[in-house]
Amino acid sequence: MLVNKFWFELAVGFLWEDVSQSAPMTWYKNDLTTLMSAIEPGRRQMYARHMVVAQEGRIFCRTDVSVDLSDLEFPRLEEVRLMTEYENYLPRMKAPNVWELSVNPRYESDWDGPEIYTLTEYNMDELLDQIAERFPNLQKLTFEDRAMAYEGTMDEFRKRMPMLTEINDDLVTEVVKDTHTLRPWLDRPWSGALWR
């Protein structure tokens, strides 16, 4: 079926405005990199220019290069919802108008098991560096679940972000820096059982 250009532009703009809502409760299927990887590279920009709200959940590791977002411009993108895992790498993207970022660190707790922090003090600095670099005009930052940071990390981030007017970091626990060199590796949930 053919659709004229006017109706196509109207429909695409409506459908791609808030891509975070396209599949509720399945953030791994409707995140930005997954959606963009399903589109031919030559057509990605056409959809990227319509996005206002997006979510990124596939930031598992630095080597995740399923789709390169660095050449795409997201001129209307204002809000990003970020789901973190144990390794945090936020894809490079041109999104100068992002003013709101929500971070869901996926803290897990079981009444009879250990607490599991996926965003710990060991990788919080790196994530905040990436946020400052990719979203310099950020005005609002919210941590939706528990996370950990070194003492003073959040204050330093506030100083680096002059436009940041609101930061909800009540769920971020600041800890004293540990000088033990193996500590970051030992605290990972997948390795702790081997060494404790």
Q: Is 53 a member of any domain?
A: yes
Instruction: For the chain, state the CA radius of gyration.
Output: 18
pLDDT per residue over 117-150, tens digit each? 888 888 899 999 999 999 999 999 999 999 999 9
Q: Is 104 a member of any domain?
A: yes
Task: Tell me which residue has tokens 């981030």.
Answer: 157
Q: Is 51 a member of any domain?
A: yes
Q: Is 99 a member of any domain?
A: yes
Q: How far is CA 4 from CA 7, 15, 63, 187, in A?
A: 6, 16, 41, 57
Q: Is 105 a member of any domain?
A: yes
Q: Minimum mean pLDDT among 38-42, 59-63, 76-80, 153-157: which range?
A: 59-63
pTM for this entry? 0.76
Domain encompassing residue 175: 16-195
Q: Is 181 a member of any domain?
A: yes
Burial call 126-136: b when 16+ CB within 10 Å, e when fewer: ebbebbeebbe
Q: Is 135 a member of any domain?
A: yes
Please give the share of the chain, as a percent, with pLDDT higher than 70.
74
Q: How many domains does the chain have?
A: 1
CB atoms within 10 A of CB 65: 9
- Residue 80 and residue 167: Cα distance in Å, rounded? 15
Q: Is 136 a member of any domain?
A: yes
